[in-house]
Structures are given as C-alpha cells and as structure tokens.
Amino acid sequence: MKLLSRSRRAVARLPIRPRRMNFAFQGFENSRYWFDNDPVLTHFMNVLSVTFPDGERFFVDAVRAFRDRVDDPQRQKDISGFIGQEAMHSLEHKAFNDLVAGHGDGYDALVDEALTVTQRLLAGARKHLSAERQLAATAGLEHITAILADVILRRADMVEKMDPAVRPLWVWHAIEETEHKAVAFDLYQDVENGYWKRQRAFLYGTAYLTAFSTYFTWQFLKHDGVHRQPLVLAKGLWKMFGYKGVVSQAIPSWFQYLRPGFHPWQDDNSELADALRATLPEPAVSAVA
Ligand SMILES: [Fe+2]
Ligand SMILES: [Fe+2]
C-alpha cells in the first residue's frame, strides 16, 4: 500500500470519466453460473447487482444534495463525473439484472423480491436519515464498493473465471468505482467531518448489506437446491471466505476505514485501474458529464 499525504481532500488520482458502454451481454442467457461456474459466487454477485440501480441513485442524490458546498472547479468536475458514472452503472446493471431474472424458473420472483426489499430499505433511509447521514452512509458504502472493486483489479485469475459475456461489465464497474472512490468521502469530510458519525453510518451500512446479501444469496441457492449439496456449498464458501477469497481478501481494507486519518487514496491502486482499462471494449459514448 502506497501512503499518500494525510490531506482529506486529495484530488482524485484518476480522471473520473463516465462511459456509456451499452453492453450486449451476448450469450449470457446460456450462462446461469457465470462466475467460475459456481452457484455461490454467482448468486452473491447477482444479489449485489440487484442493489445497484436503486442504491447508486441513492448515492447520487446524497452527493447532489451538498455539491453546492464545493467551490473548487476540479472537484465540481469530479462530482459531475461521479454522478455520470453511477447513472451509467444503474442502467447497465438494470439490463444485467433483467437477464439474471430470465436465467431460471422462479429467478424473476426472487429478483423482484430482492429489488422490493432494496427499494424499501432505501426509502426508509431517505425518510428517516438526515441529508448528512445519507451522505455518511454513501461514503461508507462507496468504501465497500471500492474494496470489492479492488479485488477485481488485483485478481486477474478471478476475472478470468467470469463468463466473457459479463466480464467487461464487472471490470468496467470496478475501474469506475476506483476512479471515483474518494468523491463521496471528500464531500462528507467537507460537510461534517464527524469521525463517530462516519463510523456509525459505515457499520450500519455494512450490517444491512451483509444481512441482505446473505439472505438473498441463500434464497437463490435454496431455489437451485444447492443447500442439499454440501460439497458445492463448501467449495463456493471457500472461494468467498477462504484463503484469497473474494470477500476475505477485501476484509483488511474494510478495517482501514476505521482509522481516524483514513482517506480512500491512501491505497493507491490507480495503476491497476489504468492497466485494466486498456482491456475494455470501446465505450459507445465517452464524455465528462
Ligand atoms: Fe457504481
Ligand atoms: Fe460508486
């Protein structure tokens, strides 16, 4: 980990550029277990994806509510980039989720149920949390997104195991989450800079996301009868939580957020994002919002 200055308002290490990709997802309809042919890994990622369209709209609104506090033109540009990128993620993941819903009998009902719960949770947050708490939650959840994105950036072997029909979606999303990983955090520091409030929102955000993704991943696995296949289950869980697992690899970075002097760019993974960007298909539209 390369340590940068302790400045909480470090300028983004990477330009934040929204790209409209219009992924075709060709052949995805035939690839039910698209991640390493593994039901556990696949359903975990599918369930995360269900939260993205509405979750990312929530993030955008939380940031937009305070953008007038920022005078610096570069940071205004970064905020525009963040909003544009999250809007594109919502669109592409909506298309992905629709295809997941068609992957098996009964998947559509499960996707719908997960979507409804996501929408209810977010509606509750919008109703009961102040604009500052919503921004703190956004900064915390963006950290979780950024550390999962970092796993994708670092683990070419894992990315290789994704079906080529959807691999560019996850790589593109991981790159853009990395590009804008400090935007909500920096804005929160401008608006409130409250250590305990920031941690509380982070811990609540982590707890909700963990409970949600565990519950719905299990529902999908049960639907597929995987709960009666202990070996398949154990293998999948090992890939998630075992040595160098998708989740276990992100855990040390999760703890970084608890440090009082934390800033997302203290972990400078910009070179990894640069390297992977070259592997992406050309965007349909590429412009700063
Ligand atoms: Fe995103
Ligand atoms: Fe994001």
Q: In the 8-state DSSP scheme, what is residue 282?
A: P
Which stretches in the chain have pLDDT values below 50? 1-8, 288-289
Q: Does residue 245 form part of some domain?
A: yes
Q: Could you give the percent of the chain with pLDDT greater than 70?
A: 94
Q: Does residue 236 form part of some domain?
A: yes
- Say how many Å lie between the CA of residue 278 and the centre of ligand 2: 20
Range of the domain at 228: 31-281
Q: What is the pLDDT of residue 288?
A: 45
Split into its structural domains, the chain has a count of: 1
Q: What is the pLDDT of residue 68?
A: 95
184 alpha carbon, closest ligand: 2
Q: Does residue 184 form part of some domain?
A: yes
- Say how many Å lie between the CA of residue 232 and the centre of ligand 1: 30
CA distances from 74 to 10, 65, 66, 186 (A): 11, 18, 16, 13
Q: Does residue 26 form part of some domain?
A: no
Q: Does residue 211 form part of some domain?
A: yes
- Say how many Å lie between the CA of residue 26 and the centre of ligand 2: 25
Query: CB–CB of 187/9 below 8 Å?
Result: no
pTM beyond 0.85: yes
- Say how many Å lie between the CA of residue 112 and the centre of ligand 2: 23
182 alpha carbon, closest ligand: 2
Q: Does residue 17 form part of some domain?
A: no
Q: Does residue 45 form part of some domain?
A: yes
Cα gap 115→233, rounded to integer Å: 25
Q: Does residue 228 form part of some domain?
A: yes
- Say how many Å lie between the CA of residue 227 and the centre of ligand 2: 33
Q: Which residues place a Cβ less than 5 A from the ion ligand 2?
A: 177
Cα gap 134→61, rounded to integer Å: 9
- Say how many Å lie between the CA of residue 105 and the centre of ligand 2: 32
- Output b/e per residue, 135-160; b: 16+ Cβ within 10 A: bbbbbbbbbbbbbbbbbbbbeeebbe
Q: What is the pLDDT of residue 113?
A: 98
